[in-house]
Each structure stands twice: as C-alpha cells, then as structure tokens.
C-alpha cells in the first residue's frame, strides 16, 4: 500500500510540474536556452556525423537538457526544453511521460527531437505530437544509433544522464509548446 501511495504521489508531482511550459522569468528562459545549446554541443561532440545528418535534414529540433524520470510500478517523466528553427530559439516546450509496468528507480537524461518536415514540426507546435508506447529513443552513445531514422517525420535521441532505472513498461510522451511571442 505504501509503495502505491509513493508512486501515486510521484506521478501527481511530475505531472503537476507539466503545467508550466516555459520558465517564468526572462533570466530563467535565457538559462534554459543556454543549457539547450550546451546539450546540442554535447551531441555534436559525441556524434558529429549524426548531428550533421539530422541537423542538415531537419526543419527544427526540440532540445530537453534534463528530463527526470522516476517510477515505482507507475512512472512519470518531465523536462523543459527549447525549440530551435535555423539555430534560433523560437519557443519553449515541455515533455511529459507516463508509464505503467514493471519499473523501479530514477534517472535523468537529455533528449533531442529532430523534425524532418514542416508537417511534423507543425504537429509538435500545435500539441498534436505524441509518441506511442512502441516509440523509442536512440541513446547517442549506443552503436544502435546507426539504425536511427525518422519515424513519422521525427527522430529522437537521448544523451545518457545519471541514475539507475529498471524498466519493462509501456507508456508514451506528450509535448506542449509556447512560442517566444507569448512572452513579448
């Protein structure tokens, strides 16, 4: 019973954070953009070939410098990010994820979502982009990234973070977006 209560509290906490897509202050927004650019630099340095291929073939990239994930049976993840088009920060986004299944632990990672065309980018901006339970990201450090390709106009990469997570679960990711002109 106690485990279920902790899992429920974790789930509610993670998803209540998801209500604030962008940092409240201009300083916090600038810090998030800086962190996102650092994440892009890390991706470039670890996999320069992949970055070039995906950056050259995409119309935009959403960068989530830190996604926190935790679970005890029921799990959730949350991260704030920045959407870039032509290397310009055009708005802020967040990622929420829910999962259920055999899972225990917590971890943090960075995630980059490349958009192949204006249609997939438009779905993201309008809040109509969700990843189904079967969708998976490719870990940048893994050799499996050689098999990465766009799926429905989207390619997702993660950069290893910290933490340990055991997981055999199903779940999906959902995104929200606020353009920069919201803050002007």
H or E element, residue 61: strand 60-85
Nearest to 57 by CA among 144, 135, 137, 148: 148
Cα–Cα distance, 93 to 179 (Å, whole number)? 9
Structure tokens at 8: 């429920």
The pTM of the full predicted model, rounded to 2 decimals, is 0.79
Contact in structure between 177 and 93 (CB atoms under 8 Å): yes
| Each residue's pLDDT tens digit, 37-70 | 999 999 898 888 888 888 999 999 999 999 888 8
**pLDDT band at 31; cut points 50, 70, 90:** very high
SS3 content of the chain, % helix, strand, coil (to 5): 35, 45, 20
Output the DSSP codes for 25-50: SHHHHHHHHHHHHHHHHHHHHH-HHH
Predicted confidence at residue 167, as pLDDT, reads: 46
Buried b (16+ CB within 10 A) or exposed e, 81-108: bbbbbeeebbbbbbbbbbbeeebeebbb
Predicted confidence at residue 170, as pLDDT, reads: 52
Predicted confidence at residue 33, as pLDDT, reads: 97
| Each residue's pLDDT tens digit, 74-133 | 888 899 999 999 999 999 999 988 877 777 788 888 888 999 999 999 999 998 777 654
Q: How far is CA 160 from the centre of its chain?
A: 12
- Of residues 16 and 132, the one with the higher pLDDT is 132
């Amino acid at each position: 019973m106690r485990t279920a209560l902790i899992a429920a509290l974790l789930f509610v906490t993670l998803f209540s954070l998801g209500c604030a897509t962008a940092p409240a202050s201009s300083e916090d927004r600038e810090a998030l953009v800086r962190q996102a650019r650092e994440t892009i630099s890390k991706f470039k340095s670890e996999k320069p070939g992949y970055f070039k291929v995906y950056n050259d073939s995409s119309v935009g990239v959403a960068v989530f410098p830190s996604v926190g994930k935790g679970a005890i049976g029921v799990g959730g993840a949350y991260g704030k990010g920045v959407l870039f088009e032509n290397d310009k920060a055009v708005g802020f986004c967040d990622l929420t994820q829910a999962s259920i299944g055999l899972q225990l632990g917590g971890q943090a990672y960075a995630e980059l979502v490349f958009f192949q065309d204006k249609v997939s980018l438009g779905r993201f901006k309008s809040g109509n982009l969700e990843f189904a339970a079967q969708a998976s990201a490719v870990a940048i450090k893994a050799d499996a990234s050689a098999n990465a390709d766009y799926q429905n106009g989207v390619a997702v990469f993660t950069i290893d973070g910290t933490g340990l997570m055991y997981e055999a679960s199903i779940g999906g990711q959902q995104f929200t977006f606020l353009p920069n002109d919201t803050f002007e």
